[in-house]
Every structure is written in C-alpha cells, then in structure tokens.
Amino acid sequence: SQTIHQWPATLVQPVGSPLSLECTVEGTSNPNLYWYRQAAGRGLQLLFYSVGIGQISSEVPQNLSASRPQDRQFILSSKKLLLSDSGFYLCAWIPRRGHSYEQYFGPGTRLTVT
C-alpha cells in the first residue's frame, strides 16, 4: 500500500534561519508531487509541483524553493525564513497513472517562525 511521510511534524525556527522540510512517498513510482501551504484560517495555497525528478514548477513567487532529488522524495527549502512563512505545510501525491487524479495528503508540518 502507498503511504506518504512528512518530516518534521512541527518546527519552530527564528527569522533568517534556513529551512528544509522533507516529504517521501512509499509504495508507488513516478508520482506527481505537490507542496501546499495552509495559513491560519484554512485556505490551501499550492506552492510547487513536480512531475518527475529534477522537474519543479513554482506557482507563486516567494521565499521558498523545492527540489526533487529522487523519484519519491520532495523537499521544501528556504535560505532565510520570514515571519510570513509560518503555516501548515502539506505534501500531496497522485499516481501518475491514476484515472481519477485524486490527491493524497501527508500529515503535514507545522512551521512557526519567531
């Protein structure tokens, strides 16, 4: 069966510090991968998506970057965090050959920038 992991679960970082959040998927190959941010108040904002190793598309200009060094690994990074980067970060995947394109979400990482 397929599972998706995110690490760490919670993180408190000072302004100006670097960031690295990791997402890994098990039990599938060649998935589409997505990073979302959910700010307080609910809405989900799509940050990045990837259709393959080394292929990253950015949805909004921001202080963050993403990388996909392996087929089932997706990393969200920042060189210098801002207060506005605080939020709940969710990783999601869909199987490349899925017929209904539903996205499956990880448990999320709660980031607080102080």
Partner 1 sequence: GEDVEQSLFLSVREGDSSVINCTYTDSSSTYLYWYKQEPGAGLQLLTYIFSNMDMKQDQRLTVLLNKKDKHLSLRIADTQTGDSAIYFCAERESKGATNKLIFGTGTLLAVQP
Q: How far apart are CA 39 and CA 44, in angstroms?
A: 7
> Is the previous residue joined to 61 through a cis bond, with omega within 30 degrees of 0?
no
Q: How far apart are CA 111 and CA 87, in angstroms?
A: 5
- Residues numbered 84 to 103 that lie near partner 1 (CB under 8 A) are 90, 92, 94, 100-103
Quote the least distance from Cβ 91 to partner 1, whole Å: 8
Judge contact between 74 and 68, C-beta under 8 A.
yes
**List 42, 54, 83, 97, residue binding partner 1 (CB under 8 A):** 42
Mask: binding to partner 1, 44-83, rule CB under 8 A, as x and -?
x-x--x-x-----x--------------------------
Region class of 63: left (phi > 0), else alpha (psi between -120 and 50), else beta: alpha
Q: Which residues bind partner 1 (CB under 8 A)?
A: 32, 34, 41-44, 46, 49, 51, 57, 90, 92, 94, 100-108, 110
